Amino acid sequence: MNKKPVNGMRDIMPKEMEIRDYLIGLVKETYKSFGFTPMETPCVESIENLTGKQGGENEKLIFKIMKRGEKFNLETAQNENDLADSGLRYDLTMPLSRYYANHQAELPKPFKALQIGPVWRAERPQKGRFRQFYQCDIDILGDATNLCETELILATTTLLSKIGFKDFQIRINDRRILKAMAASSGLSEDLYDEIFIILDKMDKIGTEGVTKELLELGMSEENVQRYLGLFSAIEGKKGTDAVDAIAAALGEYLDGAIAGNLKEIFTIVGTASDVAFELVFDPTLVRGMGYYTGPIFEIAVPEFGSSVGGGGRYDEMIGKFAGQATPACGFSIGFERIISILVDQDYQIPTRKARTAYLMEKGLSAEKTAEVLKKAAEERKNGREILVAAMIKNKKFQKEQLASQGYTDIEEFYENPIERR
């Protein structure tokens, strides 16, 4: 038998599990205070839904579940999808869309959904990246106004503040601005997806790298220079001034209402928030999912040099299930990334109860054992965490292990305590 986890999976140790449980509790407490309702979907979805060209690159990473019994026919199969009828979900957004389309008559409008659960992607395992991981999403379905974006930003930044993050940014853009910038530069609409994938690497490969890859894609040097020149229009400008600058540079290629919508989000969030963070307009922000249709956002924490979450508006996905357009917007925190940061910081849970360990001598009588357990029960009623365990031979090692788990008090119990003095 193999004692190691399957490649790409991992075991979670108690110390990390305690932080995970605490974070999940904090997430639920915070988001429920904003009116979000917990719900859940199955881990398994139909293969037609998972491969519906909504998940971008994730559709290449599906763990597929083979058909069973008579449905499994290797001889007549033309491709691997003919052998599979379902698969493990790769995110929580597509299942939520199906869920809402199926239950919308029973749900409030708008519906504010809260989901926390595992997802699976058949990625190449590497440090910090596993094939099973948790996602934590909040979504507002059935509301086309920018109240969705502002509430999602306010709720998420409130949570990050409670966790202890400081000086972070919410970067915001709009997919329609991305398309308008490409159109005004004469770039081919058929290549928008590839162009945006290259643009998304701007912070990693810089302007020179983006220029090189766009030229390799077949874009003319004149169009590429015109495209990249648009980004200089906002240099030195922030917030609504930056949005005004890009709108002026795009002219008739951008509907004024789109820029106006972003400016409203800046104004409302800036006035309503009591959390210290910066809302930044970033025209290079892309977000990888093809289903985004409007504003998109991402959480940047300069201290850690990476994103810890993101989301955006996806007004067309639910309609593919429901047969009618349904506006939707969501925000997802990078649960696993945040856990990794907290573990590295040796995060101490602020709400942890006082912990005491009762160590009982081996061979303690039934009467004495009962006394110890009764005492433990009384202490638990007073709000303390009490661990009762038998002493091991190496008591020094046992106490060190208990101390590392947060047990600040250790009491020892013997059949004849006086003889031990």
| Half-sphere exposure at residue 141, Cβ-oriented, CA atoms within 13 angstroms | 28
| Half-sphere exposure at residue 414, Cβ-oriented, CA atoms within 13 angstroms | 6
pLDDT of 137 higher than 70: yes
pLDDT of 33 higher than 60: yes
Maximum Cα–Cα distance across the chain: 92
Nearest to 240 by CA among 269, 256, 260: 260
Q: What's the average model confidence in pLDDT over 389-412? A: 90
Q: What is the rounded average pLDDT for all residues in the chain?
A: 90
At 71 the pLDDT is: 66
Which DSSP state fits 129? Answer: B
Q: Which span out of 74-78, 98-102, 123-127 was modeled with the highest average pLDDT?
A: 98-102
Contact status, residue 43 vs residue 117, Cβ threshold 8 Å: yes
Q: For residue 135, how many other CB atoms are within 10 A of its CB? A: 20
* Global confidence as pTM: 0.87
pLDDT of 210 higher than 80: yes
Residues in the chain, total: 421
pLDDT of 120 higher than 60: yes
> Per residue in 73-99, pLDDT tens?
665 666 666 678 899 999 999 999 999
At 70 the pLDDT is: 63
CATH 3.30.930.10 in the chain is located at 1-144+315-352
Task: Compute the distance between CA of residue 104 and CA of residue 98 in angstroms, rounded to an integer.
Answer: 10
Q: What's the average model confidence in pLDDT over 151-176? A: 94
- Our CA angle for 315, 317, 322, nearest 5°, is 105
At 363 the pLDDT is: 87
What percent of the chain lies above the pLDDT cut of 70? 94
> Per residue in 48-60, pLDDT tens?
889 876 656 777 8
Write the CATH number of the domain with boundaries 355-420.
3.40.50.12590
pLDDT of 128 higher than 80: no
Task: Compute the distance between CA of residue 207 and CA of residue 239 in angstroms, rounded to an integer.
Answer: 22
Q: Which range (33-37, 50-54, 185-189, 409-413) has the least confidence?
A: 50-54
Q: Which range (121-130, 204-213, 237-246) has the least confidence?
A: 121-130
At 280 the pLDDT is: 94
Structure tokens at 142: 């059935």
Residue 243: CB partners within 8 Å, gap ≥ 6?
259, 262, 263, 266, 281
Which DSSP state fits 138? Answer: E
164 phi and psi angles, rounded to 5 deg: 120, 5
pLDDT of 290 higher than 90: no
Stated as kind and residue range, the H or E segment containing 358 is: strand 355-360
Structure tokens at 137: 């999403």
- Going from the C-alpha of 407 to that of each of 56, 222, 402, the distances in angstroms are 47, 67, 5
pLDDT of 5 higher than 80: yes
Fold of 1-144+315-352: BirA Bifunctional Protein; domain 2 (3.30.930)
At 408 the pLDDT is: 86
At 298 the pLDDT is: 94
CATH 3.40.50.12590 in the chain is located at 355-420
At 289 the pLDDT is: 65
> Per residue in 296-350, pLDDT tens?
999 998 877 778 999 999 999 998 888 888 999 999 999 999 999 999 998 988 8
At 383 the pLDDT is: 86
Q: What's the average model confidence in pLDDT over 361-369? A: 91
Stated as kind and residue range, the H or E segment containing 85 is: strand 84-88
At 76 the pLDDT is: 60
At 180 the pLDDT is: 95
pLDDT of 160 higher than 70: yes
Contact status, residue 178 vs residue 58, Cβ threshold 8 Å: no
Q: What's the average model confidence in pLDDT over 243-248? A: 94
Task: Compute the distance between CA of residue 25 and CA of residue 38 in angstroms, rounded to an integer.
Answer: 12
At 34 the pLDDT is: 97
| Half-sphere exposure at residue 239, Cβ-oriented, CA atoms within 13 angstroms | 11
- Going from the C-alpha of 43 to that of each of 65, 118, 202, the distances in angstroms are 12, 8, 35
